[in-house]
Amino acid sequence: MGLQKKTVKDIDVSGKKVLVRCDFNVPLDQGRITDDRRITEALPTIKYLIQNGATVILASHLGRPKGVTPEFSLAPVAVRLAELLGQPVPLLPDCVGEAVKAAVDASKPGDVLLLENVRFHPEEEKNVPEFAAQLATLAEIYVNDAFGTAHRAHASTEGVAHTLPGVSGFLIEKEINYLGQAVENPKRPFVAIMGGSKVKDKIALIDNMLPKVDRLLIGGGMVFTFFKALGYEIGKSLLDETSLEYAAKLLAEHPDKIVLPTDIVVASELTDTAETQTVGVDAIPANLIGADIGPASQALFREVILGAGTALWNGPMGVFEKKPFEAGTKAVAIALAESHALTIVGGGDSAAAVEKFGVADKMSHVSTGGGASLEFLEGKELPGIAALQDKP
């Protein structure tokens, strides 16, 4: 099931002022962009609008500012966009108000303007109708291309679409087509790899995906709740007490689908210099912490992934930010890169991992939205997409 919403190709944008909500929430280090993927992913929509004679007004948030905070200015994004597009991209002093309206009115087709961080206004996250209406006065058409915030009903992601005709950009279309294909019509065997820390954060995802997948590989901190449910000693490993019953029930009902690790890397501390050892899952010492899947599990997971037709990955296999515990996550990333499956990486930590291990470009699709891709895969409706016009 692809995107059932109109896209920029379904409307005439020539000579029109178009407000485009992008997700330029890029990581910054002292004002320097450390990863510009969210900017480059927005380029197809922006370039299409320029080529088709629209005036492009870009809106985005950056971080979680409390009021106007200079370190959350979109200035570095304006500079990078100008480089990538090969044309000036002025950053306006605000996202609403007289000066902004005057700059937009003075612009002409083919121009690209960037509004300052919409979250400098608390009305943005509260989705205040008057604020959304103010944003809407800047344009005649609204395009949402911010998949990373599509699960939030904010003024610039949902509210504006109540005033302006709203359509999807190419990035949202691509995200929904890839994620939708995985959920609705996967090439089999369909393998999901899930990690992360707490089982309870993934219950909705597991419940929605389990009936659809052929195998579910579980790693990361959440796996120890499953081991505890099996009666194993888990030492000082992460335990999600509230989900023990749930884990036991899953194992009892789906023994054929769920694949757990067979060995675990343990240590007394989660540091870059920790001494580690590998133990069987039924032999975790009471005084140690489980922090990654071991070599036998890596080989097992690799074999399942290489046999997949579709593979969906959400959540790391261990504390991969620390060198002694990165091997499990790296092994999954590399197996996905070497498989012939349609490979989909569900944003967040998994997206960071494929970047870190240099295989992002070997994936069929790396989602730009952590929370948004998670909610979509849980089967929830995303308000920022629901608000757009339906295809006839």
Residue 267 in contact with residue 227, Cβ under 8 Å?
no
Residues 333-344 have a mean pLDDT of 97
The answer to whether residue 337 scores a pLDDT higher than 90 is: yes
Residues 185-207 have a mean pLDDT of 92
C-alpha angle 253/258/261, rounded to 5°? 135
Q: What is the largest CA-CA distance in the chain?
A: 71
For 301-316, write each residue's pLDDT tens digit: 999 999 999 999 999 9
Residue 118: which pLDDT band, with cuts at 50, 70 and 90? very high
Q: How much is the mean pLDDT over the chain?
A: 95
Residue 198: which pLDDT band, with cuts at 50, 70 and 90? confident
For 224-245, write each residue's pLDDT tens digit: 999 999 999 999 999 999 999 9
Q: At what angle do helices 370-377 and 170-184 cross, to 10 degrees?
A: 40
- Closest by CA position to 95, among listed 83, 87, 104: 104
pLDDT given at position 182? 83
For 269-302, write each residue's pLDDT tens digit: 999 999 999 999 999 999 999 999 999 999 999 9
pLDDT given at position 283? 96
Residue 108 in contact with residue 68, Cβ under 8 Å?
no
Domains of the chain: 8-173 (3.40.50.1260), 186-377 (3.40.50.1260)
pLDDT given at position 378? 87
For 80-109, write each residue's pLDDT tens digit: 999 999 999 999 999 999 999 999 999 999
Residue 35: which pLDDT band, with cuts at 50, 70 and 90? confident
Residues 31-47 have a mean pLDDT of 94
Q: Can you name the residues that pair with 57 across neighbouring β-strands?
A: 19, 113
For 347-386, write each residue's pLDDT tens digit: 778 999 999 999 999 999 999 887 888 888 888 999 999 9
pLDDT above 90: percentage of residues in the chain:
89
Residue 5: which pLDDT band, with cuts at 50, 70 and 90? very high
pLDDT given at position 335? 98
Residue 258 in contact with residue 216, Cβ under 8 Å?
yes
Would you mind telling me the total number of residues written for the chain in this entry? 392
Residues 104-120 have a mean pLDDT of 98
Sheet holding 166-168, edge to edge: 112-114, 55-59, 17-21, 141-144, 166-168
For 41-60, write each residue's pLDDT tens digit: 999 999 999 999 999 999 99
SS3 84: helix
pLDDT given at position 368? 86
- 183's CB contacts (< 8 A; 6+ apart) are 1, 208, 209, 212, 377, 379
What's this model's pTM, rounded to 2 decimal places? Answer: 0.89
pLDDT above 70: percentage of residues in the chain:
99
pLDDT given at position 221? 95
Active-site residue list: 38, 198, 348, 371
The answer to whether residue 332 scores a pLDDT higher than 70 is: yes
